[in-house]
Amino acid sequence: MKNLLNNIIYGISSLWLLLIAYSCDDFVEIDQPNSQLTLQAVFEDPTTATAAMTDIYSQMRENGIMTGRTIGYSCLSGVYSDELISFESDIYSTAPFYTNSLLASNTTVESIWKNTYSQIYSANAIIEGVTNSSRLQTEIKNQLKGEALFVRALLHFYLVNMFGDIPYVMTTDYNQNNVVSRTPTLEVYQKLKQDLEESINLLGVAYITTDRTRPNKATAQALLARVYLYNGNYSDAVNMSTIVLNNSSMYVMESNLENTFLKSSSSTIWQFSPGASGANTYEGTTYIFLEGPPNKVSLLTDFVSQFNDNDLRKAHWIKAVTNGSETWYHAFKYKQNNNSGSSVEYSILFRIEEQYLIRAEAKVKTGDIAGACEDLNKIRNRVGLPNVEVTSQEELLDAILQERKFEFFTEFGHRFFDLKRFGKLDEALVNKPGWNSTDKLWPIPISEILINPNLNPQNPGY
């Protein structure tokens, strides 16, 4: 990442002395910071150290995997799987993802790779900075390091599921990063666990902010439960999700689905605040359209038709738009697509409903059918559906997969990852334009491989 950490900029405000400005021209080329003394100074003051951490969340909100824009993974994976249809045609838009015509030279994939590793580099700078700080109080050091470890794990989790073997970067040493190699997936998962276990030990139960925009212990535990599930550690997944769910005084599923995606939702574990006063989410801007045909994306009609008519999610989280002769549908989880004077909705990254479905799936794998049904039915009953009726383990897993489909559509790639984890990508996407089995992974950007051949071999199909 050339000029990844360009400099430390001292500001005029006496309260906000500085912000760290990051840019990323290339993942494999990292210039040494111009002033190591200045970098160290950031982490000798709690205000500037905290500003460096919260700036990473701003970068994640704006660019890379976690952004709610059309260039983020929520939207791109939606058109890449069976949730969304793209109405765009430009090669620099969502179109190549919908038609499964990605090339290793795709600039959107390249941008996601670079921006995400830039954010990882920033997290590493926090970890190293607070660890070496001689003035920060232990409580502040633990909080910031715990957050940075969580962020590093979260971003690597997405990268490994998108690209397969990927570099797990744990340093700001530009000499090492210049020649980094891809880490085998199993080893990536081991590193994810290690980072999250340390993060959990450092973070507190309470949130640092009242709006749940700074990760706490349960946030790291929620991700670790997901990591355990994806890696086949089912007993650990049951135990970790149970720990999160036992925080019943803090996390409660909203009985009114209209409240699920409000900034004050009781089911929210972690969320991004908007970047401006009165602003809301990028997701609202991305998915909501007022007239047809849409100019970006819409929900696939076939996807909408699969909802049970009694499913309250269909009524509350999906909206139809018609021009009199044709009808289109858009995701309506977030209902604000403009500045509302006072922010109403924040982008929710983790919510308690996922933990019930993680535990249900893991319980099936460990043979606890009754317990799995109980967790699954909590999700179903809340949206107006009766208890599930199944006669076998296979049917119960299918029911869980379907429930996840209707619960998490357009949320951070859950659907695509679920199909891959269940081994059903080819079955679900066989009729999708241009689909090939090798499309389960995205290409490593060719620009990165040309500069650092250690990133070879390229993923199959590219």
Q: Tens digits of per-residue pLDDT, 317-357?
A: 999 999 999 999 999 999 999 999 999 999 999 999 999 99
Q: Are 411 and 317 in contact (CB under 8 A)?
A: no
Torsion sign across C-alpha atoms 163, 165, 169, 175: negative
Tokens of 149: 């470890």
CATH architecture of 1-203: Alpha Horseshoe (1.25)
Please, which contacts does 216-222 make with residues 24 or more away whose CB atoms are closer than 8 Å? 216/270, 218/243, 218/244, 218/247, 218/250, 218/251, 218/269, 219/150, 219/269, 219/270, 219/350, 220/146, 220/149, 220/150, 220/153, 220/196, 221/196, 222/269, 222/270, 222/350, 222/354, 222/355
For the segment 192-222, what is each residue's pLDDT rounded down to a tens digit? 999 999 999 999 999 999 999 999 999 999 9
What gap in Å lies between CA 373 and CA 315, rounded to an integer? 25
- Name the nearest CA neighbour of 282 among 447, 71, 21: 71
In this prediction, residue 3 carries a pLDDT of 37
Q: Does the pLDDT at position 458 exceed 80?
A: yes
Q: Residue 8: is its pLDDT beyond 60?
A: no
The count of C-alpha atoms lying within 13 angstroms of the C-alpha of 125, restricted to the half-sphere facing its C-beta, is 33
Q: What average pLDDT score do residues 305-320 get?
A: 98
Q: What is the pTM of this model?
A: 0.93
Q: How many CB atoms lie within 10 A of CB 140?
A: 17
pLDDT tens-digit profile of 360-398?
Answer: 999 999 999 999 999 999 999 999 999 999 989 999 999
* Beta pairing class for 268-272 and 84-86: unpaired
* Cβ-based neighbours of 287, under 8 Å, separated by 6 or more: 75, 297, 330, 331, 332, 334, 410
Check pLDDT > 50 for residue 235.
yes
Share of the chain above pLDDT 90, in %: 90
Question: For residue 399, what are its two tokens?
Answer: 């029911």
Bond from prior residue into 293 cis (ω within 30 degrees of 0): yes
Q: Are the beta carbons of 245 and 355 closer than 8 angstroms?
A: yes
Q: How far is CA 38 from the centre of its chain?
A: 32
Query: According to CATH, what is the number of the domain 228-274+282-333+348-430?
Result: 1.25.40.390
Q: How many residues does the chain have?
A: 462
H or E element in which residue 269 lies: strand 268-272
Between CA 233 and CA 188 the distance in angstroms is: 15
Dihedral, CA of residue 22, residue 23, residue 24 and residue 29, to nearest 10:
-80
CA-to-CA distance for 148 and 244, rounded, in angstroms?
A: 20
Q: Region 300-316: what's the mean pLDDT?
A: 98
Q: Residue 367, exposed/middle/buried by CB under 10 A (0-12, 13-18, 19+)?
A: exposed
Beta strands in 277-324 (DSSP E): 297-299, 318-322
Q: What was the pLDDT predicted at 31?
A: 40
- The residue behind tokens 């920060």 is 136
Tell me the pLDDT tens digit for each residue of 398-440: 999 999 999 999 999 999 999 999 999 999 999 998 999 999 9
Q: How far apart are CA 212 and CA 265, in angstroms?
A: 10
Q: Domain segments of the chain: what residues?
A: 1-203, 228-274+282-333+348-430
Q: In angstroms, rounded to a whole number, what is the distance separating the alpha carbons of residues 317 and 258?
A: 8
| Better-scored residue on pLDDT, 5 or 159 | 159
Residue position matching structure tokens 């700080």:
133
